Amino acid sequence: CSIGEKDESSLRTACRKDNGTECEGRGNCVCGICQCYALQGGSTYYGKHCECENESCEKFQNKLCGGNGKCRCKNCTCDAGYEGTACQCKKSDEQCRTPSGSVCSGRGTCQCNQCKCIEGYQLPYCLTCPACQTPCITKGKCIECLGFQTGPFSKNCSQTCKSINEFEMVETLPPGKPCDVRDVENCRVFFVIKQLDGEDNYSAQILKTRECPELPNIYKIIGGSIAAGAMIGLVILLIIKGLLYLKDLKEYRRFENERKKVKWMPHLCT
């Protein structure tokens, strides 16, 4: 092709991907189009910038794509009934199903008949997450608003607490140690919460009866105050009476002493 200097530069740019090497170093740039090299296996590089080839996909049992798929631009495209990065697995989720029938508890994906859990959850079925914060703590305020329409979420409870999609108020809770939370009235609300399939999906049983601190008896307080006041008054009265008695006793003794002096005083002779 006959081009000027400026046009040649533009055409060569067209052969570069993201300002990289011309044709990825796997072909020649001819008039702005990559002509890709051949590979040792007989195929050629392909793609706009010679970025693809079909001979370096992952192998399984020394076979490209395990012999169960086709290599397409460095990635295996598996035949029907196979999966995996090298098409090494027969499609099945039998070993990924929980006793209840869900796949990886809704908290992971089944790959090569084994669960690949989301971060924190454990194999084999992604049931438990030891590092996750317990729902006894994280769902306490939702339990308060769902069960008793109080607390910080009470005005928008149905929207804020959608993660608890099943709950019931019960007279008694099943055996075991229940969760509990303090509500706005400082009462203890007892509940049992269970994680359902999915990452943030729960059911709960909430005890109808709260455990509240005993309120002070105003009559006992008033009666006690009156009794205490009367007792203090009586003590003060007894103290005053005692002081008066001691004063009278002192005066009486002084009077007796004076009388005795007069009685025994000798008569003056005339």
Name all domains of the chain by residue range, CATH numbers in brackets: 1-52 (2.10.25.10), 135-207 (4.10.1240)
Residue 234 pLDDT = 87
Residue-level pLDDT, tens digit, the chain, 270 residues: 655 555 778 888 889 988 889 999 999 999 889 999 998 878 899 999 999 999 889 999 999 999 999 999 989 999 999 999 999 999 999 999 999 999 999 999 999 999 999 999 999 999 999 999 999 999 999 999 999 999 999 999 989 999 999 999 999 999 989 999 999 999 999 999 999 999 999 999 999 999 998 766 565 667 777 877 888 888 888 888 888 888 777 777 777 777 777 765 555 444
Task: Retrieve residue 224's tokens.
Answer: 């006690």
Residues facing residue 189 across a β-bridge = 181
Do residues 53 and 59 touch, judged by C-beta distance below 8 A?
no
Cα separations in angstroms, 14 against 1, 19, 29, 37: 15, 9, 9, 18
Contact 60, 34 (CB under 8 A): no
Q: What pLDDT score does 269 carry?
A: 45
In whole angstroms, how large is the CA radius of gyration of the chain? 47
Tell me whether strands 69-72 and 63-64 are parallel, antiparallel or unpaired.
Answer: unpaired
- Residue 213: both structure tokens together: 């601190």
| Contact between 87 and 79 (Cβ < 8 Å) | yes
CA gap 168, 37 in Å, rounded: 70
Give pLDDT, residue 104.
Answer: 97
Quote the CA–CA distance of 46 and 35 in Å, as a whole number. 9
Q: What is the b/e burial string over 156-193, where b = at least 16 CB atoms within 10 angstroms of the residue's CB?
A: ebeeebebbeebeebeeeeeeebbbbebeeebebbbbb
Q: Dihedral of the CA atoms 128, 131, 199, 144 (nearest 10)?
A: 100
pTM for the whole thing?
A: 0.56
Which residues, 6+ apart, have CB-to-CB distance to 160 below 8 Å? Answer: 142, 145, 153
